Amino acid sequence: MMRFTNALVRRPCRGMVRGLSSAGLGPPDIGRALEQHAAYVEALRDCGLDVTVLEADEAFPDSVFVEDTAVVCPEAAVVDLPGAPSRQGEERSVAQALAGFFPRLDAIAPPGTLEGGDVMRAGGQFFVGLSGRTNREGARQLGAFLGRHGYEVVTVPLGAILHLKTGVSYLEDGRLLATGELVHEPAFSRFRVIPVPAGEEYAANSLWVNGRVLVPAGFPAARRAVEAAGCGTLALDVSEFRKLDGGLSCLSLRW
Ligand code: CIR
């Protein structure tokens, strides 16, 4: 069975109130965000991960969402080039931290752009969403890096959603939790797709960690659907990150 041993996270910065957002839920409260982030780190540790916590980076309002800055797996680490101009540069300090764990780092280069929120691993395959942040050239470069290790990279064109994993999460054992346009995505035909109940679309971004699924608090029907598929769950409040269009996966890199 797949098992994660490590995670990397970064504490939220005060400037997160100026983070990119389309949620229309108002600015996040930094005090609550810090509490929710600490609980998230604790949950990852409870799941058996060794968690490296980077200090807040005030130069980048969205820097708490470290998932977007790299793609990591046991064999490889690729440093991303975020498609959002205000996020370009966040990846540098993440790369420094990853260099302590990976002997070699590859990097997405212009004109490619890629954000990790668009990258979902399912066993030997990596699905890459083509979004407003990740372009074909970025996906092609990622495919070349991961192909060396025997992984297959499959692109998924996206419509309205921000990132691929805004709408779909891999729950291991061939199970996908999906919403909207992704429920019937042909690229996912070999999976058992668990549709997220209507009105609870935000919960499509859930996070499998070593046999448990972290789900956002406040989405009981989605939680029941995940449990009915045979997964134990742990609900975490991530309301302040939701205000910036972020969710559970966005807050960490895992390998
Ligand atoms: C952004 O727009 O880039 C941030 N406000 C949210 C990033 C969420 N990250 C993710 O889905 N992996």
- CA of 241 relative to ligand 1 center, distance in Å: 9
**pLDDT digit string, tens, across residues 195-237:** 999 999 999 999 999 999 999 999 999 999 999 999 999 999 9
Residue 1 has pLDDT above 90, yes or no: no
**pLDDT digit string, tens, across residues 140-152:** 999 999 999 999 9
Residue 137 has pLDDT above 90, yes or no: yes
Please tell me if the CB atom of residue 240 comes closer than 6 angstroms to any atom of ligand 1: no
Please tell me if the CB atom of residue 167 comes closer than 6 angstroms to any atom of ligand 1: no
**pLDDT digit string, tens, across residues 87-125:** 999 999 999 999 999 999 999 999 999 999 999 999 999
Residue from 244, 249, 251, 253 to probe ligand 1 pocket by mutation (most atoms less than 8 Å from CB): 244
Residue from 162, 202, 206, 249 to probe ligand 1 pocket by mutation (most atoms less than 8 Å from CB): 162
**Would you tell me how many other CB atoms lie within 10 Å of the CB of residue 205?**
29
Of 153, 192, 197, nearest to 175 by C-alpha is: 192
pLDDT of residue 99: 98
Q: Is 163 a catalytic residue?
A: yes
What is the rounded CA–CA span in Å between residue 200 and residue 191?
21
Query: Across residues 34-46, what is the average pLDDT?
Result: 98
pTM of the model: 0.97
Q: What are the extents of the domains in the chain?
A: 6-254
**Which phi and psi angles does 106 have, rounded to 5°?**
-95, 170
Residue reference for tokens 């495919």: 143
**pLDDT digit string, tens, across residues 67-77:** 999 999 999 99
**pLDDT digit string, tens, across residues 166-186:** 999 999 999 999 999 999 999
Mean pLDDT of the chain: 97
Please tell me if the CB atom of residue 44 comes closer than 6 angstroms to any atom of ligand 1: no
Please tell me if the CB atom of residue 63 comes closer than 6 angstroms to any atom of ligand 1: no
Three-state DSSP class for 184?
Answer: coil
Catalytic residue among 37, 47, 163, 231: 163
Please tell me if the CB atom of residue 117 comes closer than 6 angstroms to any atom of ligand 1: yes
Residue ranges of E strands in the chain: 6-10, 50-54, 70-73, 76-79, 106-107, 119-122, 125-130, 152-157, 168-170, 175-178, 192-195, 207-209, 212-216, 232-236, 253-254
Class of domain 6-254: alpha beta
Model confidence band, residue 80 (pLDDT cutoffs 50, 70, 90)? very high
Residue 21 has pLDDT above 90, yes or no: yes
What is the rounded CA–CA span in Å between residue 160 and residue 204?
15
Share of the chain above pLDDT 90, in %: 99
Q: Is 250 a catalytic residue?
A: yes
pLDDT of residue 217: 98
pLDDT of residue 77: 98
Please tell me if the CB atom of residue 67 comes closer than 6 angstroms to any atom of ligand 1: yes
